Amino acid sequence: MTEAIMLVGGQGTRLRPLTTHTPKPMLPVAGVPFIAHQLARAAAAGVTRVVLATSYLAEVFEEHFADGSPYGIELVYLTEVEPLGTGGAIRNAAAGLTCGPDEPVLIFNGDILSGLDIAGLRDGHVAAGADVTLHLTRVEDPRAFGLVPTDEDGRVLEFLEKPETPEQIVTDQINAGCYVFTRSVIDRIPAGRPVSVERETFPELLQTGALVRGVVDTSYWLDLGTPAAFVRGSADLVLGKVDSPAVPGPTGDALLLDGATVDRGAVLSCGTVVAAGAVVRAGAIVEGSVVLPGATIGADAFVKDSIVGAYATIGARTSLDGAVIGDGATVEADNELPNGIRIACGVLLPVGAVRTTAGPGGCPAGQSTAAAVHGSVLQQ
Ligand code: GTP
């Protein structure tokens, strides 16, 4: 039996307004709440029990996942009244663990999509007799990340803050947000106050001579914390660039969930997802985007790399690129929104209110397909 803790209590500020009503780990990615992918991958690696460390909008998780039995995994919920940060949340969640002090406990950040060999990380931790083992990944541009250099045996040397000069870039290895802790190490994190695992727990462990290992695994890795990464992660799951047992239905150029209504004259591509109750009208082109439940994409609209919130409406001939449209917002016909715009929940943008020079882009050749796929309800 292996137990895990999943950190899902953050506010997800970088994804606002999508996280106004839904916590980031519950936002639909490739058709299901994001952590359904993580839970499925954890279960496949032999995890049998997961403690969800909740805080922001805590009730949403249990309403959806209940005791976990439909997902083949036992779920326990421990909620922080005041958010305790990553380390404090791990300490608080330890109350839900049943394992002994020498057992390994997997810890997942609730916003990382990866192809990590989870069982391998746990087994290597046990074999090495480590206190903590971190999954590390390599990035091309490490300037935006804290760095984690290791020696030739994989022992972590330091936890460095984001580099500010080229000389400070001593490695391209970064913390990938998945760890194995020996249970007794969790029990030593101070209780009842905010603690950052990155800034406090890990550096203290190094100071006391603990064995902290870093394992570089360069398979698929993406932090879904920003809108651009969020749509990419969803599309990559649909396109099969990363595997998840939780993707509902066959993958291909687009994923239409049961109850989606897409006109035969619409074109969906580049890993677009259309959720239940959403409608895409004739002539619309939707590329690499996430259309959430009950949303409507009007005739001849162009939607690229965007997230259209639940029950939002995009009018005819309107175009979006890299946009985030909040739940229930309406962008009426003939708007051309600038790249990267965010529209708050419930806002109304009248006909032709915004015009820019941005025009339709295009996805790589061969990824366009007519919408008539996967047996969803199609309008004639
Ligand atoms: P941003 O506000 O956009 O930075 O997102 P975030 O709130 O999710 O923060 P961040 O991406 O740094 O968090 C990493 C992971 O830790 C996410 O899965 C969060 O849900 C989780 N997390 C962050 N802070 C807390 C906390 O205080 N309590 C709990 N339980 N989880 C947390």
pLDDT more than 90, % of the chain: 83
Those residues with Cβ within 8 angstroms of residue 177's Cβ, 6 or more apart along the chain or in another chain:
108, 109, 111, 112, 135, 223
Q: Could you tell me if the CB of 111 is within 6 A of ligand 1?
A: yes
Distance 55 CA to ligand 1 centre (A): 9
Pairwise CA distance, residues 109 & 237, whole Å: 18
Q: Could you tell me if the CB of 109 is within 6 A of ligand 1?
A: yes
Element (H, E) at 342: strand 342-343
364 pLDDT more than 50 = no
361 pLDDT more than 60 = no
Facing residues of 33 across strands?
28
Distance 8 CA to ligand 1 centre (A): 6
- Pick the closest to residue 92 from 63, 55, 66, 128 (CA basis): 55
At 249 the pLDDT is 72
Q: Which DSSP string do the residues of 201-216 spell out, in sequence order?
A: IHHHHHHTT--EEEEE
110 neighbors 25 (Cβ within 8 angstroms): yes
How many CB atoms are closer than 10 A to CB 254?
31
> Tokens at residue 36, please?
């359904």
Distance 335 CA to ligand 1 centre (A): 35
Q: pLDDT of 183-234, one tens digit each? A: 999 999 999 899 999 999 999 999 999 999 999 998 999 999 999 999 999 9
Q: Ligand 1 atom 12: the closest Cα is on which residue? A: 10
Q: How confident is the model at residue 375 (pLDDT cuts 50, 70, 90)?
A: very low
When pLDDT is averaged across residues 229-249 and rounded to a whole number, the result is 92
At 273 the pLDDT is 96
Highest CATH level, class, for 3-226: alpha beta
Pairwise CA distance, residues 86 & 75, whole Å: 19
At 366 the pLDDT is 33
Q: Could you tell me if the CB of 23 is within 6 A of ligand 1?
A: no
At 158 the pLDDT is 93
Nearest atom of ligand 1 to the alpha carbon of 85: 27
- Pick the closest to residue 71 from 160, 163, 168, 6 (CA basis): 6
Those residues with Cβ within 8 angstroms of residue 204's Cβ, 6 or more apart along the chain or in another chain:
none
Q: pLDDT of 4-60, one tens digit each? A: 999 999 999 999 888 988 999 999 999 999 999 999 999 999 999 999 999 999 999
> Tokens at residue 107, please?
């810890």
Distance 111 CA to ligand 1 centre (A): 8
Residue entry with tokens 């690499």: 288
CATH of the structural domain 253-379, one choice from 2.40.30.160, 3.90.1150.10, 3.40.50.620, 2.160.10.10: 2.160.10.10
- Pick the closest to residue 351 from 299, 309, 314, 305 (CA basis): 314
Q: Ligand 1 atom 26: the closest Cα is on which residue? A: 85
217 neighbors 121 (Cβ within 8 angstroms): yes
Pairwise CA distance, residues 147 & 68, whole Å: 35
Distance 293 CA to ligand 1 centre (A): 25
Distance 226 CA to ligand 1 centre (A): 13
Q: How confident is the model at residue 357 (pLDDT cuts 50, 70, 90)?
A: low
Q: How many helices (H) and strands (E) does the chain have?
A: 7, 29
Pairwise CA distance, residues 203 & 156, whole Å: 10
For the chain, what is the radius of gyration of the CA atoms?
A: 22
When pLDDT is averaged across residues 62-73 and rounded to a whole number, the result is 91
Which residue of 5, 6, 8, 34 sits with most ligand 1 atoms within 8 Å of its CB, as the best mutation to test the pocket? 8
Those residues with Cβ within 8 angstroms of residue 164's Cβ, 6 or more apart along the chain or in another chain:
none
| Mean pLDDT for the chain overall | 90
- Pick the closest to residue 8 from 56, 42, 49 (CA basis): 56
Domain ranges of the chain: 3-226, 253-379
How many CB atoms are closer than 10 A to CB 165?
7
User: What is the DSSP-derived secondary structure letter of residue 375?
Assistant: T
Q: Ligand 1 atom 19: the closest Cα is on which residue? A: 10
